[in-house]
Amino acid sequence: MFESLRTWATPYGGDVFLYISVLAVASVVGLQLYKQRLSSFTLQRFIRLGALIALPLTIIAMEMGEQHWGIAVVAIVWAVAVAIISKNAVALRKDSKK
């Protein structure tokens, strides 16, 4: 099973693409589960942290060549997902305080 995944992921960045994809999915699921317990300040920091991680990862992936474009796409999509989830949670808290 893992060999077929590796074969499929080779054009997108290989094993690194698979590892980053798994970490991205796990962190988004974790954020969804724990966003109610996190403070607004922490959620705002996650927005910045997502951008700070995605930008260098995207630049490095693009410098590695055409074969690693999947890594750049996963990093950008992950950062956008984290930002949207965090922004919505912060906005919901501000609305509930009114």
Alpha helices (runs of H) in 1-98, residue ranges in sequence order? 2-9, 15-34, 40-64, 69-97
Whole-number pLDDT of residue 14: 84
CA–CA dist 95, 3 (Å, integer): 48
CA–CA dist 78, 43 (Å, integer): 15
Domain borders along the chain are 12-97
Give the CA count within 13 Å in the CB-facing half-sphere of 96.
8
* pLDDT, tens digit, 9 for 90 and up, residues 3-56: 888 888 888 888 888 999 999 999 999 999 999 999 999 999 999 999 999 999
